[in-house]
Structure 1
Amino acid sequence: MSPRDSECHGTHVASTAGGAFVANVSNKWFGVGAARGGAPSARIAVYKVCWQNQNSCAAMDIIKAMDDAIEDGVDVMSLSLGRSVPILPESNEHNAISYGAFHAISKGIPVICAGGNDGPQAYTVSNVPPWVITVSATTLDRSFPTPLVLGNNITILARNQYKGHEFQADLIYVVSYNQITSAAKGKAVLAFLTESEYFVGEFVDRALIAGLSALIISSKSIDVIGYDKRELVLFMIDYEEGTTMMKYIGSNSLPTIKISTEIRLTGPLVATQVAEFSSRGPNSLSPYILKPDIAAPGVDILAASIPFIEGAENGFIALSGTSMSAPVVTGVVALLKAVHSDWSPAAIHSALVTTASKTDPYGEPIFTEGDSRKLADPFDYGGGLGNPTKAADPGLVYDAYAEDYMGYLCAAGYEEASIGKMAKKSMMYHCPSPRPSMLALNLPSITIPFLNADVTVTRTVTNVGPVDSIYRVIIQAPLGVEITVTPTLLVFNCFVKKLSFEVTVSTTHQSNSIYYFGSITWTDGYHVVSIPLSVRKQSPMYFH
């Protein structure tokens, strides 16, 4: 066995977090420029934990590597791995990332984790302990689509990149892959990928045998295209675009299509969206804990590659996934640690969440990709799209420490012995009596999954901005929910650095509801400190 990276994954994420400056890097000759990681002056320690095969990482290897990293004195820990649902309890020793991350934050080391690639379905987010920073993925404000120009001059932009010569071909539509025969040789073929014909591989095999000039698959909007590795001109478009193309074919006796080389789109023309693959909340293990926490770019991220990997060019390759978005946040956290070495992992977590943006860099709302495109909410992106500059000066932070997280585990009903074991307590650990509320943990969010009567939640903020500061509250109440915050004014000075406030939540909904979203924001006129609020009217059926 070799400690070298055999899959490119570790190399890619490491260079995203802390890669040095490299000039004249491009994505297959597009977007030429200098590449660097988030914290290019950082020193990187890499620990290989996936030895069995690319999809299997032993729990003992993960915990050992995390504990070794703590002993080696790392300042930040990044993990672009995890398991899909069902998620093991946080204090279960087989939940290696939860276990190891608790050891890390107990030593003041922030832990950043990928949220998973099982979206856009709800309850799919992984790496959900409240002491880790869980990252979802968004698109970037640039893309390299391929223009597909129909004979009526309507242009459809396919997600795939095509670098060949421009060509024109007859265009036909097939209902099933069985209709792709030798008669289609040299033609471009449109097909719809439905639930009954789930695997695009069947179409690809038939297209290669028949000698098509191009295969165009209309399917659910997807961000990661994994079928362009064979000698076939293949394009993926969504159902709306496919229907437009099919209507054109049906209304013309000799439909044609012209396929040109890819183009570059940047800026406002390319809206920032939560990637379809990015796993979504609510948190299936503990619905009181908002996950994911923060979003960062994770689609077509260009970073370092190992040699001889298909698709790489001059040592760089574009990959997609929350594995790619997590190290983006890791680089930011490394810089925050350099600026604020005395901040706890929870303070850094808070700074990221409370300063995140709900809009893209051009002020437009952030949408989600998936079966039904909608405005993004906290279950898609947590606090929003990370803003490194604002995170360095958040004004206020919601702080917490290992003992607070142990109180949360007590509230969740875990056994005292398992809590003490995870916390490496030499003596038997005893939970407070009575055990705390699940809403007591001082998080930079409030999630109430079972609102059946009025609930009052307490939060405490620490002033990390100007000593003499006055903050006023701004409430954006969820639909059908009444919010009262007491007090409405927080006054800090040289003697007062921490203040608490109470949030009372009630609802006018008469029956069980979906989640509704709002926010509670404190501002001194310069700093804007906002936490997401998620509320569902629901009678508790099995939670307590």
Structure 2
Amino acid sequence: MEFRKYQFLLFAFTFLVLSQVSGATKDNGKDQLKTYIVLVHDTINHVIPTTADQNLYNITNKAKHKLQHLTELYVSLLSEVIPDRSRIIYTYKRVINGFAAQLTMQELEELSKQEWFAGTLPPKKYKITTTHTPAFLGLRPPIDPQGVWNTTNLGEGIIIGVIDTGITPDHPSFIDDHLPIPPTKWRGHCDFGTSLCNNKLIGAIRVLNATQGEHVHYPPTDKHGHGTHVSSTTAGAFVKGAGVYGSAVGTASGMAPHAHLAIYQACNENGYCDGADVLKAIEYALDDGVDVLSLSLGLYEDNDGRHVYEDHIAVGAFKATLNSLVVSCAAGNDGPGFGTLNNDIPWILTVGASTTDRRELVVVELGDGTKFDGKALLQTKNWAKGMFPLAHLGIKEFNGYTNLRQCTGKMDRRKVSGKILLCPFDGEDPIQKAQNMRAAGVRGVIFFLFLPSLGLDDVSVQYDFPYAEVLLTDGTKILNYINSSKNATATFSFRGTVMNKPHSPSLAAFSSRGPSLPFPGILKPDIVGPGSSILGAVPPTYIDRTNRKSLLFDFMSGTSMATPHLSGIAALIKKAHPKWSPAAIKSAIMTTARIVDNNGDLITDGGPIPGPADLNGIGAGQVDPTRAIDPGLVYDIKGNEYIGLLCGMGLTDSQIRIFVSPSPPVSCSKVTKISQEQLNYPSITVSLKPNSTVVITRTVTNVGIAASIYRAKINVPRGISAIVKPTLLRFNAKYEKITYTVTFKWTGLVSYPLRGQLVLLSRKHVVRSPISLVLLS
């Protein structure tokens, strides 16, 4: 079965989707209005100022005159095709040269005939993809003199931009105790006003003109919950006593608790966003002086094609990266299938999701003494002692779609009263489920996760009713016990929040896997971070999934939750090394990642395939912020190398112009082309044919001790030869660069898995690059 068909069971709303919202509709076909981004030739060095531009930036008369500096001919040509000027939604002056407008196909065809017309970005759909995780990742209270928080001042002075569903400005996670004023480079503003904006929440604007189809100026209040949650995860303040009805209680904070937040509401209350809005939000972040940009968003699965030059996030992130912004994006929740990635772009930090070592534990004990560890995010406090009758309602088999709805809806009290039921986890509304169970007199429920790809850490649903979630394998054993016993019984033992769960972290089953489709020569995702059952802030009006009580914190799961972890960690690195490029910060995160769990074993896959997680799932491994602050060496990439990469992929000059505009156009005939495998990336992907030889080149920059010696060690599967030259890298100065080569050859029968690693070792540092091998027949 395709896992994505059951994503509603996994808090599918926790991975935000950028969605094309088509606006008003006249008729079908060519008369339908859609939001297009129209590219203008760089020789037309003008933009059309919109009401949104002027409102957001309070533009002066002189600046307005400059924005309106458009030839009369250009104005007349445009007005001939688009008589209603209000349909021009945005102008872009930094991420691209052009504007967004609601157009019919016929109008677009007419515009394409104009001399200034340089192309279009078609409408694209996208979707929206804690108390313990700082400590789990090794971040300690600031009193620890050796801790990352102490050495980076908790990210003070760094500005993190979040493009999402908005924020709850008066939530305790966004108080500004002990925070300084924003840095002088900050040029944005906050639409909540002085009563709610502060030194934590320094920026907040609404960028929903394309999504909502209206030009209104409201504050970006979060009516969904997702934006508030991810904002608290990346830079939330310390909040004592955070938890959900007694579960996971502790002091909550973000990864960079003293960083500033700039919020760009480009996604509506339903979690949908338009590419034009998101692209404009990226441009605002560029203008405002943001350091790190966090997007828990991804392309909607129904989009046609995967052309990188039509991806609004890829285009906007390219210009952001060239302007020194670190862009962190969610990999997607379409796992455990391979080739399901989103945001798998080389200049983006692509983030997958892992589990933590925390579990809200409930032990299920059968009448024969067998015990199973289960999960209950909402723990029952007054569970009666003793055994209770155990039954099911006609389960025949556990695979696929069979009998998923047998415990759905109202139940016959005569059959179920006083019993513990074994039921499939069917996705019914938890509030209604609890009401139905309680009305029928059910004592409790054991929910088995009906797919082998589902793990206990993949589900973040709470029931205001005694329950336990168990794995499919354990559910099978419980079913066999019921069927073989005349008087089957069971009971629960609620143990509360348990830490140090063995074999943590593991790769979350829902986390999307590579290989990348547009960039198969680059290993993606780059990194994984905590994304399962993450506790974060939610709006006070947020209705929980149990008994409709108002909450301040709640659990969510998804790569949406992992992304802000990495955004906050990137902010800490940026604070420690303000002159580092986005590529250097990404390299520091990747080359210091951990590949073993808390048992010392390779990180395992939480999906249906047991054993170590594939590189296409975990990338470089689990983020380790303590080591990432001091990586020793980095693999840096300059902007012209990304252009060489795009030219090497065969993009036309017109397609390249989308990325470089409004800068002067680039001719690929004059650019040094770079293949994907040869990009100076922190990981290595190499494709081999029998008896073929491939030479990979990498350059490292010394950011550690000036006089350092690194020894290269490489491990590859049997049947593959790999030789590194030179094997000793001798550095005499900080920021010195040394280039090395790795010669790969397929020499014989190959052992699996097709993975390896290159490690550069000094007395102090371990710089690790994962190696992904692809064998071509």
User: Taking structure 1 as the reference length, what is the TM-score of the superposition?
Assistant: 0.91
The secondary structure found in structure 1 opposite 2:678 is coil
Equivalent runs, 1:272-311 vs 2, <5 Å: 272-311=505-544
Match of 2:742 in 1: 503
| Equivalent in 353, 360, 379 of residue 144 of structure 1 | 360
Match of 1:542 in 2: none
| Equivalent in 699, 710, 727 of residue 488 of structure 1 | 727
Deviations 1:212-247 (A, max 9, x none): 333323222333436545x65443321211122123
Match of 2:605 in 1: 368
Match of 1:341 in 2: 578
- Residue 480 of structure 1 deviates from its aligned partner by 2.7
Closer/same/farther in 2, CA of residues 151 and 321 from structure 1, 3 Å limit: same
Closer/same/farther in 2, CA of residues 233 and 514 from structure 1, 3 Å limit: same
Whether 1:535 and 2:535 are equivalent positions in the alignment is no
Match of 1:215 in 2: 445
Q: Is the contact made by 1:76 and 1:330 (CA closer than 8 Å) also made in structure 2?
A: yes
Structure 2: distance between partners of 1:91 and 1:367: 31
Match of 1:409 in 2: 646
Structure 2: distance between partners of 1:436 and 1:270: 40
Deviations 1:15-70 (A, max 9, x none): 1111111112224313332211111111100001113x524210000000001001
- Residue 407 of structure 1 deviates from its aligned partner by 0.9
The secondary structure found in structure 1 opposite 2:260 is coil
Closer/same/farther in 2, CA of residues 496 and 165 from structure 1, 3 Å limit: closer
Structure 2: distance between partners of 1:442 and 1:150: 56
Whether 1:255 and 2:488 are equivalent positions in the alignment is yes
Closer/same/farther in 2, CA of residues 504 and 270 from structure 1, 3 Å limit: closer
Match of 2:667 in 1: 430
Deviations 1:315-359 (A, max 9, x none): 111211111111111111111111101100000000000000011
Q: Which amino acid aligns with 1:35?
A: A
| Equivalent in 78, 81, 105 of residue 321 of structure 2 | 105
- Residue 448 of structure 1 deviates from its aligned partner by 2.1
Q: Name which one, 1 or 2, has greater alpha-carbon Rg.
A: 2
Whether 1:24 and 2:256 are equivalent positions in the alignment is no
The secondary structure found in structure 1 opposite 2:318 is helix
Structure 2: distance between partners of 1:270 and 1:213: 33
Gaps of 5+ in 2: 1-215, 396-402
The secondary structure found in structure 2 opposite 1:244 is helix
Q: Which amino acid aligns with 1:360?
A: D
- Residue 208 of structure 1 deviates from its aligned partner by 7.0
Match of 2:706 in 1: 467
The secondary structure found in structure 1 opposite 2:511 is coil
Q: Is the contact made by 2:308 and 2:518 (CA closer than 8 Å) also made in structure 1?
A: no
Match of 1:187 in 2: 419
| Equivalent in 313, 328, 334 of residue 118 of structure 1 | 334
Whether 1:131 and 2:347 are equivalent positions in the alignment is yes
Deviations 1:456-515 (A, max 9, x none): 11000001111111110011113432111111111111398101111111113569x986
Match of 2:77 in 1: none
Closer/same/farther in 2, CA of residues 345 and 390 from structure 1, 3 Å limit: same
Equivalent runs, 1:45-124 vs 2, <5 Å: 45-51=262-268, 54-85=270-301, 89=306, 91-93=308-310, 95-124=311-340
Closer/same/farther in 2, CA of residues 365 and 27 from structure 1, 3 Å limit: farther
Deviations 1:84-110 (A, max 9, x none): 5568546424x1111111111100111
Q: Is the contact made by 1:91 and 1:422 (CA closer than 8 Å) also made in structure 2?
A: no
The secondary structure found in structure 2 opposite 1:532 is strand
Larger displacement relative to structure 2 (109-118 or 409-418): 409-418
Match of 2:223 in 1: 6
Match of 2:633 in 1: 396
Match of 2:677 in 1: 439
Deviations 1:418-461 (A, max 9, x none): 11221225433111467432322100011124545211110000
Larger displacement relative to structure 2 (206-215 or 307-316): 206-215
Q: CA RMSD in A?
A: 2.6
The secondary structure found in structure 2 opposite 1:520 is strand
Structure 1: distance between partners of 2:733 and 2:383: 69
Larger displacement relative to structure 2 (72-81 or 31-40): 31-40
- Residue 184 of structure 1 deviates from its aligned partner by 2.6
**Number of equivalenced pairs:** 531
The secondary structure found in structure 2 opposite 1:501 is strand
Structure 2: distance between partners of 1:62 and 1:88: 19
Q: Is the contact made by 2:758 and 2:771 (CA closer than 8 Å) also made in structure 1?
A: yes
Closer/same/farther in 2, CA of residues 29 and 471 from structure 1, 3 Å limit: same
Q: Which amino acid aligns with 1:172?
A: A
Structure 2: distance between partners of 1:144 and 1:25: 15
- Residue 368 of structure 1 deviates from its aligned partner by 1.3
Match of 2:478 in 1: 245
The secondary structure found in structure 2 opposite 1:351 is helix
Q: Which amino acid aligns with 1:163?
A: T
Closer/same/farther in 2, CA of residues 325 and 315 from structure 1, 3 Å limit: same
Match of 1:225 in 2: 459
- Residue 147 of structure 1 deviates from its aligned partner by 1.6
Closer/same/farther in 2, CA of residues 17 and 448 from structure 1, 3 Å limit: same
Whether 1:354 and 2:583 are equivalent positions in the alignment is no
Q: Is the contact made by 2:707 and 2:732 (CA closer than 8 Å) also made in structure 1?
A: yes
Structure 2: distance between partners of 1:286 and 1:525: 35
User: Taking structure 2 as the reference length, what is the TM-score of the superposition?
Assistant: 0.65
User: What percentage of aligned pairs have identical amino acids?
Assistant: 36
Q: Is the contact made by 2:688 and 2:694 (CA closer than 8 Å) also made in structure 1?
A: no
The secondary structure found in structure 2 opposite 1:439 is helix
Q: Which amino acid aligns with 1:92?
A: Y
Closer/same/farther in 2, CA of residues 144 and 185 from structure 1, 3 Å limit: same
Closer/same/farther in 2, CA of residues 300 and 142 from structure 1, 3 Å limit: same
Q: Is the contact made by 1:165 and 1:260 (CA closer than 8 Å) also made in structure 2?
A: no
Structure 2: distance between partners of 1:236 and 1:496: 52
- Residue 362 of structure 1 deviates from its aligned partner by 5.0
Closer/same/farther in 2, CA of residues 313 and 472 from structure 1, 3 Å limit: farther
Whether 1:171 and 2:390 are equivalent positions in the alignment is yes
- Residue 211 of structure 1 deviates from its aligned partner by 4.5
Q: Which amino acid aligns with 1:154?
A: T
Closer/same/farther in 2, CA of residues 84 and 375 from structure 1, 3 Å limit: farther
| Equivalent in 555, 564, 580 of residue 327 of structure 1 | 564
Q: Is the contact made by 2:708 and 2:730 (CA closer than 8 Å) also made in structure 1?
A: yes
Closer/same/farther in 2, CA of residues 71 and 88 from structure 1, 3 Å limit: farther
Larger displacement relative to structure 2 (239-248 or 262-271): 262-271
Q: Which amino acid aligns with 1:103?
A: K
| Equivalent in 468, 471, 483 of residue 235 of structure 1 | 468
Structure 1: distance between partners of 2:272 and 2:775: 39
Structure 2: distance between partners of 1:117 and 1:178: 27
Whether 1:41 and 2:258 are equivalent positions in the alignment is yes
Closer/same/farther in 2, CA of residues 449 and 122 from structure 1, 3 Å limit: farther
Match of 1:526 in 2: 764
The secondary structure found in structure 2 opposite 1:261 is strand
